[in-house]
Amino acid sequence: MIRVRFFARLREALDCEGLDLRLPPPSSVAALRRHLLQEHPHWAAHLDGRLLCAVNQEMAHAQTPVHDGDEVAFFPPVTGG
Amino acid sequence: MISVQQQDFDVGEQYRRLCDEAGEAGAVVFFVGRVRGGDGTVQALELEHYPGMCERQLQGFVDEARRRWDCRSVRVVHRVGRLAAGEQIVFLAVATRHRAEAFQAAHFLIDQLKTRAPFWKKEHGPDGARWLDAGAADVRAAGRWYADAVAW
């Protein structure tokens, strides 16, 4: 299973904290995003633009590989401090 | 020392602990971030974070600062949860042998924290709540980090 998590504005817009899913290997962040959009077409407007992604709590990009057991998080640009 | 916590912090206590660890370091620079208010538009901030990743990122920034400068002690305390206008949000302190290094390391750390640590602020005012957008300068400062992340 791959654990997907959403944070802040994105979590509220999707009305979803996260979900678990399976993806056929080899997979990537971009493939995971395509899968999410197939399952939830109305998420398209939110899973776009200036969105950040982390795999196993390290910053990632579209081509970052995703494996079974990984945690993948999507979130907006950060505003701490 | 890194802490992400709900409870408030005491600047005097943080300073004493920094000094205890820093030995005879000659310079201390510290920064306190607070919830900006005063014009009536912000009553409270709600701070969300990504537990685990947040602490890892902060530790990475501190490790990098220690590689670049001769830091004798570094402390970062960041609060999460709901904070009223005027409350303290973040404490960041660096002790080094000389002042230039302390200023440089503190500046580096707060810039890293603001642009790369997974915290998000939601502002509560008289007209409701809204998530804050990252400032253009902060996004520019993050540079390549964002460019890599958004290229679908």
Neighbours of B48 (CB within 10 A): 21
Check if the beta carbon of residue B69 is closer than 8 Å to that of residue B103.
Answer: no
Neighbours of B38 (CB within 10 A): 8
Is the CB of A19 inside 8 Å of chain B's CB atoms? no
Interchain pair B119, A79: CB under 8 A: yes
Element (H, E) at B64: helix B53-68
3-class secondary-structure state, position B94:
strand
Interchain pair B53, A9: CB under 8 A: no
Query: What's the predicted TM-score (pTM) here?
Result: 0.91
Query: For the CA atoms of chain A, what is the radius of gyration?
Result: 12
Side-chain half-sphere CA neighbours of B48 within 13 A = 20
Q: What is the pLDDT along chain A (81 residues), one digit of tens a residue?
A: 999 999 999 999 999 999 999 999 889 999 999 999 999 999 999 998 778 999 999 999 889 999 999 999 999 999 999
Domains in chain B, ordered, with CATH?
A: 2-126 (3.90.1170.40)
How many interchain CB pairs under 8 A, A with B? 95
Supply the pLDDT for residue B8.
98
Check if the beta carbon of residue A51 is closer than 8 Å to that of residue A13.
Answer: no
Instruction: Please tell me the distance in Å from A62's CA to the nearest CA on chain B.
Output: 5
Instruction: Please tell me the distance in Å from A55's CA to the nearest CA on chain B.
Output: 10
Q: Would you tell me which residues 20-49 of chain A have a C-beta closer than 8 angstroms to some C-beta of chain B?
A: 30, 33, 48-49
Interchain pair B146, A77: CB under 8 A: yes
Classify residue B39 as exposed, middle or buried by CB count within 10 Å of its CB (0-12, 13-18, 19+).
exposed
Least confident of A7-16, B2-11, B36-45: B36-45
- List the strands of the sheet with A2-6, edge to edge: A18-21, A2-6, A71-75, A52-55, A58-60
pLDDT tens for residues B84-106?
999 999 999 999 999 999 999 99
Supply the pLDDT for residue B149.
55
A9 → chain B, closest CA residue: B131
DSSP one-letter code for B123: E
Does the complex come out with an ipTM higher than 0.90? yes
Supply the pLDDT for residue B79.
98
Instruction: Please tell me the distance in Å from A61's CA to the nearest CA on chain B.
Output: 4
